[in-house]
Amino acid sequence: MPSNRQIHLDNRPSGEALASNFKLVTSDTPALQMSQVLVRHHYLSLDPYMRGRMNDGKNYAQPQPLGQTMIGGTVGEVVDSKHPKFTVGDQVVGMGGWQEYSVVDATQLGALRKVDTTHVPLSAYLGAVGMPGVTAYYGLVKIIAPKIGDTVVVSAATGAVGSALAALAKARGCRTVGIAGGPEKCQYAVAELGFDACIDYKLHSTAASLSQAVAEACPNGIDGYFENVGGMVLDAVLPRMNAFGRIAVCGMIAGYDGQPLPLSYPALILTQRLKVQGFIVSEHMEVWPEALTELGTLVATGKLRARESIAQGIAAAPEAFLGLLKGKNFGKQLVKLV
C-alpha cells in the first residue's frame, strides 16, 4: 500500500485563516478490508464552505476535527478494490479529503460514484458537474424559480457556482447579471460565460455607489438574486430588488473570518415582500440527478465553459485555499495531485 501525504487542520484560526493553521503529514495507507476501495486522487476541490468548518462555533455542519485530514471533494481513479461494483481503472468522485489517496467503504450510500469522462472532463465533476453546479441549480430553479425575461443577479459571478448559474439562467431566458472583482473577470463573465453584464465591485468603495452600478445594469430591477458574498454587496443589491423578488442565500464569504455582517436595509425584505432563503445543497439530494443531467449536457455541448485555477501538489493546498477566500482564483479552484 502506498504512503499517503495529507493536509490536517492543526489549529483553529482566530480571525483570518492562515497557512499555519494547516500541517502536512505523511501516513501509511491501511490494507483494504472487504468492501473497501483504494482511490488515487487526481484532483482535490477547494471550496469556501471549508472556512466555516475550520471554526469551532455553531454551523450547519460539524466542525473540522483537529489533527485529522481536511474534508473535501475529490475525483480520481480506483487503484485497488475489494468491492464487486468497483474495478481498477474506474473514474470516481467522492469526499476523499485533502490527501493523495483514500480508502473508501463502498457500501456506504453515496460515498463513491463512478463518472463518465467521455464528454465531460474528470475535473468538471468537482465544479460545473459537481457540488458547485448543483448548488447553482438548486438556488436558481428551486428558490429563485425564474420566468422568461426575469433579471437574475449573482455575486462571485466567475467562481464555480456563478459560472454554472450563468448558463442555467440563460437557458431559461433570463437577463443575467454578474458581480465580480476586476476588469479581467468581468470581461470573462460577458465574453465567455454569457452574462449580459458584469459589475466590477472593486470600482466601488460604498454600497451606495455599487448599488447605482447595479441599477444601471438592471434597468428593470432584479427578480432573483443568488448570494455568495454578503456584506456591502448585499446592501447594494437589496434596494434594487423588485416586489416579490427571491433571494437564494448560498454563502457569506465576506463574513467567514468571524466578524458580524450587519444588514443596512432589512425593512426592504418586508416592503418589497421578498423571499429570502438560505440552503445547503447536501440537504437536497433529490435534485442531484436532474441537475447533473442538465449540467453535464451544458458542459458536453460547450454551453458551459467554466475556467479552472489549478494548484500543483498536495502541499500547495493551504495557500491555494487562502487565495480562494481572497478571490485570487479564476473559476473553480482545484489542486492537481497526479
pLDDT at 110: 85
What per-residue string of b and e applies to 42-80 under the rule 16 or more CB within 10 Å gives b? bbbbbbbbbbbbbbeeeeeeeebeeeebbbbbbbbbbeb
Sorted by sequence, the CB contacts under 8 Å of residue 176 that are 6+ apart come out as 151, 152, 153, 154, 165, 166, 169, 170, 194, 195, 196
- Report which of 277, 201, 206, 215 is spatially closest to residue 245, judged by C-alpha positions: 277
CB atoms within 10 A of CB 159: 33
Distance CA 269, CA 251 (A): 18
pTM of the model: 0.91
More confident residue, 252 or 193: 193
> What band does 297 get if pLDDT is binned at 50, 70 and 90?
very high
Is 90 exceeded by the pLDDT of residue 258? no
Is 80 exceeded by the pLDDT of residue 273? yes
CB atoms within 10 A of CB 323: 16
pLDDT at 74: 98
pLDDT at 10: 98
- Report which of 114, 203, 126, 119 is spatially closest to residue 159, judged by C-alpha positions: 126
- CA–CA distance from 137 to each of 120, 146, 175, 294 (Å)? 18, 12, 16, 9
All structural domains of the chain, each given as residue ranges with its CATH number in brackets, are 3-127+306-336 (3.90.180.10), 131-282 (3.40.50.720)
Q: Is 149 left (phi over 0), alpha (psi -120 to 50) or beta?
A: left
Please give the mean pLDDT across all residues of the chain.
Answer: 95
Per-residue pLDDT of 31-40, as tens digits, reads 999 999 999 9
Distance CA 252, CA 178 (A): 16
Task: For the chain, report the end-to-end CA distance as a whole number of angstroms.
Answer: 17
Strands (DSSP E) contained in the chain are: 3-9, 22-28, 36-45, 74-81, 91-94, 101-105, 112-114, 151-155, 175-180, 197-200, 222-227, 241-249, 275-278, 308-312, 332-336
Q: What percent of the chain has pLDDT over 90?
A: 89
